[in-house]
Amino acid sequence: MKFILSILFLSASFQLLNAKQVIQITDFGAIPDSRKDIVNSVKEALTSCSGQKDMILNFPKGRYDFWPSHCDGSEEVTIGFDLNNLKNITIEGNGSEFIFHGRMQIAMIHNCEGITFRNFSVDWDRPYISQAEIIEATDSYLDIKMDKQAYPYVIENDKIAFVGEGWRSSYTGNNLFDKNNKEILPQTWDGALGDIFQQKVEERNNGVLRFYGKSKILPPKGTIVSMAHARYLTVGFHIHRSKDTLLKNITIYHALSHGVLGELSENITMYNASMTVNEAKGRIFSIVADASHFINCKGVIKVENCTHTGQGDDFINVHGRNIIIQKIVDAKSVEVKEDGIYNTIGDEIWFLNKETAQRGEIGILENITPIKREDGSRGFLLSFTDPLPKDLKVGDFIENKTWSASLVLKNCKILKKHRARGILVTTPKEVIIENNYFHTAGAAILIEGDIDYWFESGANCNVRIENNIFEDCLTSGNRDGDRWQWGDAIISITPSHRPVSSKTEAYHKNIHVENNIFKVFDAPLVRARSVKGLFFTNNEVIKTKTYEPYTWQKSAFLLDGCRDVIIENNSIDDNYETRDILIEHMTKDQIKVGKDQNFKIDFVKNIKTYLN
């Protein structure tokens, strides 16, 4: 029997090897550990894959360097891996280091299917972020100590400019990190030091720089400051109009915007693919913006076993677009802005009323025409197969129904070692957030639906937040009633649609927060606006003393215009003394609270709940 099994195993292995054709990057001139540019080698190797299927581009383990085609300050972006119209191709790194230089994008995956990147790390020798230790902060100057070799700069006319490989920048968007645990310094947000780095500077002894003036706050000695020198330059991995993409066992130490951006793509999986601080180099930062961001995708966005640290924005954001109707052209056509690009012919499109924010009739896109107006602005003419809704007007919205993705996020760690929030998700498809550990600076989970600023759609219909641990989240949440601070509660559900009465139709539906553990130092558990079917059940709430309470929201729950709310069967620590549920645009009978929960329901009084 063992002999037969061995034969079957060998046969299966032989078939697998023959199913994948392996090509070596070294056959195209790439030399590991040589520090020579391999961009052309990669280009030639990928060209050889054109028209082929089931190919593996193999990188023998080593260091491989990617250099931009221009190093003279040009805004042109060089792409390391440029994949177009390829199918079933695997990039196998074998534990290699991919080192990028200057203004570069890691990968473009356009109009592809079945692409896998696996088993490598990515970094920049000179990242677009610098860091320094604060030596002293006073009312008249700020002293910092910086490694000039790692983070080179020049001083001209008493002002500092940071330099890199083919770039120079005076931009210094800053965040502060605790010297001991390397987490975001509590109760600090963006630009914590103000514009101090644009002020007069002088070099002093032992690598110390003195900036004259008073910084916005005076942080403790030893605090570490990160200084980003760009914002949204170019993404790391851009997945565009592609299907079945897998990023597996990848460590991304740096990228010049989002680590991963998916647009109009179907089925994207990130498995143990993390944006991570390169601690071996003494850093406290990783990438410039979001770890991952997905706009108008479909199928399933699956994120498992990822731990992102040091990035300049949220852990993940999944959403569509609320596209403003600028002009009704005729009975079947409208004009929209440039974000009309997030549509394809044949898509199902919801029409949304601006006042109610409710999805209405569905239209089918028949034609999409780019337009340029007399004022120079650009947009799209969208034509539908059937007449537009009779009550549609300028200022209303359209939302793409076809390009809406579900999200499965499991076994991840969402930590304080990056700015802002944890998970942002607005999609009509199913959302499962399960078995994760949250230890965030801002809100752990933010569910919005935006019709007044970012215009990120859309209303959620089925969200399950289960079996997670939330520990001491919200150390840089909303302290001052300011929407630009990083969230009101551990779970914040704040669409921009505002209820006007207890009968206003809810925006979101069916959000379940069940079987989680909340370890909290402050009051806010949930803030929710305009939800029908909000369940907070079978959770455990444990009071900690890790930090001092400070938040703007003083109640456990702050609810606005919600319907069918159930709060029951939760185990609540006696030391968690906040038992208030504050409501507005609601009636008390729209909430069911278990008798043993000891919560008191009251109406909002003397609180400005709609923030700036």
Q: In sequence order, what DSSP letters do the residues of 486-500 get, joined into one string?
A: S-SSSEEE--S----
Does the N-terminal peptide bond of residue 458 adopt cis geometry, omega within 30 degrees of 0? yes
Residues 386 and 271 in one domain: no
Give percent of the chain above pLDDT 70: 96
- DSSP for 569-592 reads S-EE-TT----EEEEESS-GGGEE
Any domain includes 509: yes
- Residue bearing tokens 């032992």: 206
Residues 451 and 485 in one domain: yes
What is the pLDDT, as a whole number, of residue 75? 77
Q: What is the mean pLDDT of residues 195-222?
A: 96
What is the pLDDT, as a whole number, of residue 483? 85
Residues 306 and 377 in one domain: no
Q: What is the mean pLDDT of residues 24-51?
A: 97
Residues 203 and 137 in one domain: yes
Of 264, 287, 313, at which residue does a domain stop? 313
Using one digit for the tens of pLDDT, what is the confidence trace for 342-352? 999 999 999 99
DSSP, collapsed to helix, strand or coil, labels residue 402 as: coil
Cα(238)–Cα(249) distance, integer angstroms? 18
For the chain, give me the number of helices (H) and strands (E)? 2, 51
- Kindly calculate the radius of gyration of the chain based on its CA atoms and give it in whole angstroms: 26
Alpha-carbon torsion (159, 164, 167, 171), positive or negative = negative
Of 177, 196, 228, at which residue does a domain stop? 228
- If one counts every other C-beta atom within 10 angstroms of the C-beta of residue 370, the result is 11
Residue 2 has pLDDT above 70, yes or no: no
Any domain includes 1: no
Report the CATH number that the domain containing residue 105 is assigned in CATH. 2.160.20.10
Any domain includes 6: no
CB within 8 A of 392, min separation 6: which ones? 325, 328, 334, 351
Cα(411)–Cα(207) distance, integer angstroms? 42
Residues 467 and 586 in one domain: yes
DSSP, collapsed to helix, strand or coil, labels residue 60 as: coil
Residue 101 has pLDDT above 80, yes or no: yes
Q: What is the mean pLDDT of residues 437-458?
A: 94
Residues 387 and 440 in one domain: no
Residues 309 and 368 in one domain: no
Q: What residue type is 450 in one-letter code?
A: D
80 with 105: CB under 8 angstroms?
A: yes
Cα–Cα distances in angstroms (integers) from residue 85 to residues 58, 241, 286, 469, in the given order: 20, 10, 31, 42
Tell me how far the alpha carbon of residue 445 is from its chain's centroid. 11
- If one counts every other C-beta atom within 10 angstroms of the C-beta of residue 464, the result is 17
Report the CATH number that the domain containing residue 362 is assigned in CATH. 2.40.30.10
- Residue bearing tokens 């340029």: 372
**What is the DSSP code (8-state) at residue 113?**
B
What is the pLDDT, as a whole number, of residue 606? 87
DSSP, collapsed to helix, strand or coil, labels residue 600 as: strand
Instruction: Supply the mean pLDDT for the chain.
Output: 94
Q: What is the mean pLDDT of residues 379-388?
A: 98
Q: What is the mean pLDDT of residues 420-428?
A: 98
Please, what is the end-to-end C-alpha distance for the chain in angstroms?
73
What is the pLDDT, as a whole number, of residue 73? 63
- Structure token pair of residue 44: 């030639």
Residue 171 has pLDDT above 80, yes or no: yes
Any domain includes 592: yes
What is the pLDDT, as a whole number, of residue 21? 96
pTM: 0.95
Any domain includes 612: no
- Residue bearing tokens 């063992």: 2
Domain with 450, as residue range(s), is: 431-603
Cα(566)–Cα(531) distance, integer angstroms? 12
Of 273, 291, 313, at which residue does a domain stop? 313
587 with 514: CB under 8 angstroms?
A: no
94 with 60: CB under 8 angstroms?
A: yes
Cα–Cα distances in angstroms (integers) from residue 426 to residues 423, 488, 509, 527, in the given order: 10, 18, 11, 16
Total count of domains within the chain: 4
Residues 461 and 549 in one domain: yes
Q: What is the mean pLDDT of residues 554-572?
A: 98
According to DSSP, the β-strands at 104-110 and 129-137 are: unpaired
- If one counts every other C-beta atom within 10 angstroms of the C-beta of residue 552, the result is 20
Residues 163 and 288 in one domain: no
Residue 3 has pLDDT above 60, yes or no: no
Q: What residue type is 280 in one-letter code?
A: A
Any domain includes 417: no
Q: What is the mean pLDDT of residues 422-447?
A: 98
- Structure token pair of residue 543: 């009071």
CB within 8 A of 393, min separation 6: which ones? 325, 328
Any domain includes 530: yes
Residues 50 and 65 in one domain: yes
Where residue 71 falls among pLDDT bands split at 50, 70, 90? Answer: low
Using one digit for the tens of pLDDT, what is the confidence trace for 8-34? 434 433 443 445 899 999 999 999 999
Q: What is the mean pLDDT of residues 294-307?
A: 98
105 with 254: CB under 8 angstroms?
A: no
Using one digit for the tens of pLDDT, what is the confidence trace for 497-518? 999 999 999 999 999 999 999 9
DSSP, collapsed to helix, strand or coil, labels residue 288 as: coil
Any domain includes 408: no
Residues 343 and 216 in one domain: no
What is the pLDDT, as a whole number, of residue 602? 97
What is the pLDDT, as a whole number, of residue 72? 62
The phi-psi region of residue 321 (left if phi > 0; otherwise alpha if psi is between -120 and 50; otherwise beta) is beta
382 with 368: CB under 8 angstroms?
A: yes
Residues 112 and 151 in one domain: no
DSSP, collapsed to helix, strand or coil, labels residue 13 as: helix
